[in-house]
Amino acid sequence: MTLISRDKAILWHPFTQAQTEVDPVAIVRGEGAYLYDENGKSYLDLVSSWWVNLHGHGNEVIAKRIYTQAQTLEHVMFAGFTHDPAISLCEQLKTVLPTPMQRFFFSDNGSTAVEAALKMAYQFWCNQGQTQRFRFMSFEGGYHGDTFGAMAVGKSSGFHTLFQRFFFDVTAVPYPATWENDAEVEAKEKFSLLKLEQYLVFHGDEIAAFIIEPLMQGASGMRMVRPVFLQQVIDRVRSYGILIIFDEVMTGFCRTGTYFAMEQVDRCPDILCLSKGLTGGFLPLALTVTTAAIYEAFLSTDSNKAFLHGHSYTANPLGCAAACASFELLQQKQTQDQIKSIESVHRAGVATLCNLLPNRIKSPRVLGTIAAFELPTVEEVVTLKRSALAAGLLIRPLGKTVYILPPYCISSEALTESYKIIEKLLINY
Ligand SMILES: Cc1ncc(COP(=O)(O)O)c(C=O)c1O
């Protein structure tokens, strides 16, 4: 029996309509930016395996660190116990985070980082007797994960419509979704700010927190906004005492060119969610980072004022060791140079596509290691995805949005060649 037939007999895949979807590709190994199937065919991973992989598949430094850690201490529960990998990781991350980011709470994935952030924000207010702050705000199209709280704040993403009746009170503000050379940028931003203000006037003192994917919404189609717009939103929201949560699950760890997108926004949140690139794509791990003020609001002789939240694998030492190794690699000059050259190749590749197909490539945009554009129809996008896979390129478009978000170890030659292949596939469509 092949891997595919064994898979089809027993497995249920995420985000997949099994009845109509083509068979999955059985991957047997990965090396650098490439994945290999059971027949030895290679696929250049242009989406970093759902945006998690930073330094390539099978990276030896991270693999060895996990192995060494596994021989020393694979896990211990994190209530009442602690360990060096968790402490070291947070100490290291603190060096690149803004000063107010002082306290680190571990969980397992992006969704749980968001759940912890939402609960933390609500309880922060409750612990101070402000139980009227029970509403949340987010941006239209924001995606924050698939657990119930994360779905509630991502209710307008289109992914969770069936579950609406279970959601707590969330208001989604219109999202401008602008790009360089967008002629309507000012009008879109103005509309959004107007709607924001109208809502705040009536409900500003009932809102616990506003959750934002800074600079770029991922799952809703790599949709960007200008830093100056976010600054106005954040300053406005803060004037009502509302907490700001940055969901940097996708944008963190240099995806947008800086360690965190918030550096370009020039605003520090009250709560920060990190996952995906945290371990370089090796193990599931997440962090919800917050300020001393929020942490201190949970200190009391009353145990009910503690943050009574946790997971069996909280701060798993293997994940922490992988994250330490990944972060060290990320700081190396070579990695930082590669991140810059990915951006240059993206800009050249997207510009060429626009010149060659001016009527078909819409809303081109590049931010750090992420490039995206729209095609006129979903059919074109689906065809491109299938033909790219046959040509050895792994892309996973979102609706009409095609995006490229490679591991940082990809060579400029391989990325340039990918653009040439995509050009040819689009021209021959
Ligand atoms: C911005 C953002 N937040 C949260 C999540 C949820 O992360 P996870 O899939 O690890 O639960 C995602 C996943 O794509 C994301 O892009």
Reported as a single tens digit per residue, the pLDDT across 118-176 is: 999 999 999 999 999 999 999 999 999 999 999 999 999 999 999 999 999 999 999 99
Mutate to test the pocket of ligand 1, among 276, 285, 405 (most ligand atoms within 8 A of CB): 276
Tell me the CA–centroid distance for residue 149 and ligand 1, in Å: 13
φ and ψ of 223, to 5 deg: -95, 125
Residue 181 has pLDDT above 90, yes or no: no
Tell me the CA–centroid distance for residue 300 and ligand 1, in Å: 32
Tell me the CA–centroid distance for residue 200 and ligand 1, in Å: 27
Tell me the CA–centroid distance for residue 118 and ligand 1, in Å: 14
Tell me what pLDDT residue 96 has: 98
Contacts of 324 (CB under 8 A, 6+ apart): 65, 85, 88, 89, 92
CA distances from 284 to 15, 171, 182, 316, 319 (A): 18, 30, 37, 9, 7
Rounded Cα gap, residues 367 and 284, in angstroms: 25
Looking at residues 289-301, what average pLDDT do you find?
98
Q: Is the CB of 217 under 6 A from ligand 1?
A: no
Q: Is the CB of 249 under 6 A from ligand 1?
A: yes
Side chain identity, residue 168? F
DSSP 37-86: ETTS-EEEETTHHHHT-SS-BT-HHHHHHHHHHHHH-S---SSS---HHH
Looking at residues 93-105, what average pLDDT do you find?
98
Contacts of 259 (CB under 8 A, 6+ apart): 96, 252, 253, 330
Looking at residues 100-104, what average pLDDT do you find?
98
Q: Is the CB of 247 under 6 A from ligand 1?
A: yes
* Paired tokens of 328: 């060290």
Beta bridge mates, 217: 223
By the 8 A CB rule, do 418 and 405 touch?
Answer: no
Rounded Cα gap, residues 30 and 19, in angstroms: 28
Mutate to test the pocket of ligand 1, among 111, 148, 271, 278 (most ligand atoms within 8 A of CB): 111
By the 8 A CB rule, do 319 and 279 touch?
Answer: yes
Q: Is the CB of 213 under 6 A from ligand 1?
A: yes
Tell me the CA–centroid distance for residue 145 and ligand 1, in Å: 5
φ and ψ of 272, to 5 deg: -125, 130
> pLDDT tens for residues 192-204?
999 999 999 999 9
> pLDDT tens for residues 264-289?
999 999 999 999 999 999 999 999 99
Side chain identity, residue 238? R
Residue 429 has pLDDT above 90, yes or no: no
Residue 179 has pLDDT above 90, yes or no: no
Tell me what pLDDT residue 180 has: 84
Q: Is the CB of 176 under 6 A from ligand 1?
A: no
